[in-house]
Structure 1
Amino acid sequence: MIDSAEVSRLIGDELATLGKFIDLLQEEQGKLVAGELEGFEALAASKLAAADRLNGLSTSRDRLLCNAGYPAGREGVEAWLAGPPNPPSAAESRGAWESLLALAAEARRLNELNGKLIAERLSHNQQALSILTTATNRASLYGPDGQTRVSGGGRKLGSA
């Protein structure tokens, strides 16, 4: 026999934690768009803690379902919600589960977008570093007389 109240509680906890995780993803996105680095490390730590909490809740839910003979994951929750005996809180649990699935899709979308923003920032930083490295290398070239010569060619720093 499955502890339906515990499964419902875990789904509710997952829903609340996922909502907080999405808030963190939105905050991260704002910082990425603004180019704001301050507080980014703490934000990453908070995201990691929320992801760990989500994984723990999901594992606990799957364990309860598996112990009662249901499969793990989405398939198990769907079977639990559909199967007899229907838990007294089935309608409420179904609503929470559907909200959880919708929020998970939103979190996935936000995370992918943030990943693209990070890749774009990284590309810009690598280009800037390449320009600076090239400028530094040109400044330390030696001429035919053995003296350091400053190259006047190429793109000036700060120009487009």
Structure 2
Amino acid sequence: MLHFAGTGLASDRAGIEAWLKKHPNDKAVRQNWEKLQFLAAEAKELNRVNGELVGLHMRHNTEILESLRSKANRQDLYGANGQTAFTAPRKIIDSA
């Protein structure tokens, strides 16, 4: 296992690249480092796509909830008497 403690190199990308320059014959470490970089880039892209999907679903759910709320607050729903909840007063005309 590769340890950077005591090498004077930072435990970050720059430190690993510096170590690899000092040890060009250590092909296994180089391959593992390249694989790790590839997997990290892939994970970053998957995380970005996942974030977009979460945002899309949140917008969709918000639109549906707003639609349901506005329909629940509408005054033209029918009541038990078969009439809308709000009816305009009607004037009875008794003469023709």
Q: TM > 0.5 between the two?
A: yes
Rg: which structure is higher? Answer: 2
| Uncovered stretches (5+) of structure 2, i.e. residues with no partner | 78-83, 88-96
Aligned partner of 2:61 in structure 1 is: 125
* Higher RCO (Cα < 8 Å, 6 or more apart): 1
TM-score, with length taken from structure 2: 0.72
Q: Aligned pair in 2 of structure 1 residues 138, 75: CA closer, same or farther (>3 Å)?
A: same
Aligned partner of 2:4 in structure 1 is: 65
Percent identity over the alignment? 37
Deviations 1:76-103 (A, max 9, x none): 11111111xx387x11110110111011
1:150 and 1:107 map into 2 onto residues whose CA distance is 56
- The one-letter code sitting in structure 1 at the alignment partner of 2:8 is G
| 1:70–1:80 CA contact under 8 A, matched in 2 | yes
Aligned partner of 1:104 in structure 2 is: 40
Deviations 1:35-92 (A, max 9, x none): xxxxxxxxxxxxxxxxxxxxxxxxxxxxx42542002211111111111xx387x111
Q: How many residues align?
A: 81
- The one-letter code sitting in structure 2 at the alignment partner of 1:135 is K
1:70 and 1:93 map into 2 onto residues whose CA distance is 16
Cα RMSD after superposing both structures:
2.6
Aligned partner of 2:20 in structure 1 is: 81
In terms of fraction of residues, the more helix-rich structure is 1
